[in-house]
Structure 1
């Protein structure tokens, strides 16, 4: 087996060993309770080793969490994050483990949903620019307030408590939308656990895209790898689909920040001892852990509702422009969340709290949590690339449970920081280059464009190839961008 030497956890030199193709493992050292498992090609793992990235050092810190089971996981899109790497999975014992807000992230339940439109490329050809304009005018983008739905505090509390179900009752969702959403768009959230200031921010942000790497993209299905799975998902070659990537906006960010501060105050000795304050955690049996979980679930409900309201806006735009359009939800899955699940650990089945930070659930065919419509195929998984290349639709893989607690990559993963990308790319040149390739981009600022330049991301083809080869997710279809809306 090939050995790669890196400078890792603390001052220790650690050696991730390639134990099989595309699978590396870092043996426990220091305070690590379990190995760190890294999935990636040689070049993807090499990128994680750089001094600026520190992904492999961070995952060793994650492996020290009390109650962590089997191994701490880095997926092929993994890169440096706050405390936990982005693209990581950590499963802890539901009784004796801990919960860490850093293992969920600031954008609680940021996620991706895919819509099918019933249109083909020929139906929209020549109207892409107009479509980009209408979507950009209709759906609020960028930092700060902006909403596709008029709400008050009472409405937001309803969203936090029952998620997409609240929107169904108010006429802003279809029953099929709930049935094609992870957890039916609702976790047991408590609005009273969400900080007051976060609640107030939610009033102005239901149905808005936000900024950063969030996007709404009109795409063309450019290749189908598995016709049976594609048919089950309701998509076909040359069809027009819409991918939405957004989260819980300022409400989620403020909720996470609030509880990190609360954890640090409640556990000062622990916070002081950690290599990064955003690794701070609380035992699941503690009151504060329960409060955070209730707030996290509520913010997750907000994120699902946020994407749902934008879906309604997409339906309105498409129905206005294309008489034959029929916009339906394929699936919606989050990738910043901690959920209680049952998993095999050794010879036993255990109840675990699975932290997924920049990782999407990828349950295989036959799993009880896969919607009935996809039971024979596996859960739909979406892996967005960059706005200049392509994205992928996968199905939950046959080995995802054993390898990654039923998880797959959530995107291409960043190769360059936002600061570095801003220095290297010019917004005008980027937009012109994309336009020459038939991709119409609308954004609130040139800064967002440069930060999200295609060159700032890893090769999504390579990420998906590793995912497919390891059985985390199997390739169903590839999509290419036509119009991209950013904050």
Structure 2
């Protein structure tokens, strides 16, 4: 990206001044090196988002930002419904509520090494993964609607986990306002056999060891110490979320024109929040969030069963579950000093509330929300904590991962999946996947350096680095 267009706001903050149809400026949180590596399309999409009606303060991009559908992946924008604000399916993304949850195990790395290979094989056997993967659950129409209303709460009532899990999930495991009736029959059909599955792409279940601490106080609050083994699960709402996005984007293209909204890009299709279509999308999108929360809850149960079979002492309590690819109605103080209810779009961005926020579990109140950052396959993942004042910088948002550095097709031309698996095995990292093609697409060097991304988030004041996690086993979709 050409930085001559940008004004430096701080060590890791760059302003794209409002020009043309932009209603607010753009802000890119990144080091100079990360900004320069970004495609110019990121700046173009940040500017396009800034032109949408009702946008508040700025159009933001996180340090892992890269080109996406309409909004950049890593894009954050908040809209005021009372000022003609809009909701955009492209601003949420197709994999609604894709997110990460991390589980304690009570084990140390030495405990795991003796069973690493059989555990990798058992997890791969128990966790359905890959394109079109299906699970053991087959939901009836009534069960589907109950799941879409209840999220992880529904899963716990069905025997997948305990009430204790719900206190460490965003929205306590269930987003209110979900409307299963707004979800198409096709979306429900696609999801009927996909509950409790990872899917494909960058989704995974990883067994990791914490190998370095950067914030001892937050690490203690999160119950973490060097050498601890944890499990992280990264997946979303599968076919249902994708179909919701597809269905509503078609309608929003027409609705935007009817509402007199001039779109700089057709992929920014949107609808006024207060319109019937806007409300219907919010109901369907919230159902998609609940689907993802239920899906991760079921996968947690499957992981617990696998661990119990080989390591009876492991209990796997939940550290935290946080989503990206959402639109949440939240109260924030905008730049003009007024508290407002805003509809915050986070696409490939993680909610990152700082210390003292009312929505945090009591155990995290003094240190801030855990922010779970997935690395690329074979590289480190990170746990961050929401920083003080983060709500004033980007509505309490941070990066969500490393961010792609090249397309999947480019990765396929450069790497062979079998070679990637062998190279990582030589480093003590066991990969299990139904597809060598998928492994090649997700090769570690196809992504940005996640350490640079999280350092930029830290320096920008979005979230503080707490701990680094090194992979031991990766079940890859």
Q: Which TM-score band (shorter chain)?
A: over 0.9
In the alignment, structure 1 residue 278 sits paired with structure 2 residue 261: no
The answer as to whether partners of 2:101 and 2:319 remain within 8 angstroms in 1 is: yes
Partner residue in 2 for 1:12? none
60 and 484 in structure 1: CA distance in 2 versus 1, 3 angstrom threshold: same
2:466 to 462, 471, 476: 476
In the alignment, structure 1 residue 169 sits paired with structure 2 residue 157: yes
Partner residue in 1 for 2:285? 296
1:155-188 CA-partner distances (Å, limit 9, x unpaired): 1111101111112222212111111000111112
1:453-486 CA-partner distances (Å, limit 9, x unpaired): 0010001111111111122111111100001011
Counterpart Cα distance in 2 of 1:49 and 1:257: 25
Counterpart Cα distance in 2 of 1:181 and 1:328: 12
The answer as to whether partners of 1:87 and 1:359 remain within 8 angstroms in 2 is: yes
Counterpart Cα distance in 2 of 1:132 and 1:81: 33
Partner residue in 2 for 1:140? 128
SS of corresponding position for 1:163: helix
The answer as to whether partners of 1:343 and 1:401 remain within 8 angstroms in 2 is: yes
SS of corresponding position for 2:473: strand
In the alignment, structure 1 residue 246 sits paired with structure 2 residue 235: yes
In the alignment, structure 1 residue 66 sits paired with structure 2 residue 53: yes
SS of corresponding position for 2:393: helix
Provide structure 1 residue ranges, at least 5 long, that are not aligned to the other structure: 6-14
The answer as to whether partners of 1:135 and 1:314 remain within 8 angstroms in 2 is: yes
Q: How many residues align?
A: 473
In the alignment, structure 1 residue 114 sits paired with structure 2 residue 113: no
Provide structure 2 residue ranges, at least 5 long, that are not aligned to the other structure: none
Counterpart Cα distance in 1 of 2:19 and 2:256: 25
In the alignment, structure 1 residue 390 sits paired with structure 2 residue 380: yes
SS of corresponding position for 2:82: coil
SS of corresponding position for 1:82: coil
Residue 208 of structure 1: how far off its partner (Å): 0.4
Residue 59 of structure 1: how far off its partner (Å): 0.6
Residue correspondence of structure 1 range 179-258 to structure 2 within 5 A: 179-187=167-175, 188-258=177-247
Provide the aligned C-alpha RMSD in A. Answer: 1.4
Partner residue in 1 for 2:356? 366
SS of corresponding position for 2:3: coil
Counterpart Cα distance in 2 of 1:197 and 1:134: 33
1:57-108 CA-partner distances (Å, limit 9, x unpaired): 1110000010001000001000000000000100111322110000000000
Residue 145 of structure 1: how far off its partner (Å): 4.2
1:158 to 146, 152, 175: 146
Counterpart Cα distance in 2 of 1:172 and 1:49: 43
SS of corresponding position for 2:288: helix
Residue 152 of structure 1: how far off its partner (Å): 2.2
Residue 148 of structure 1: how far off its partner (Å): 4.5
Residue 389 of structure 1: how far off its partner (Å): 1.6
Partner residue in 2 for 1:404? 394
TM-score, reference length from structure 1: 0.95
The answer as to whether partners of 1:207 and 1:310 remain within 8 angstroms in 2 is: yes
Residue 294 of structure 1: how far off its partner (Å): 0.2
1:425 to 392, 406, 415: 415
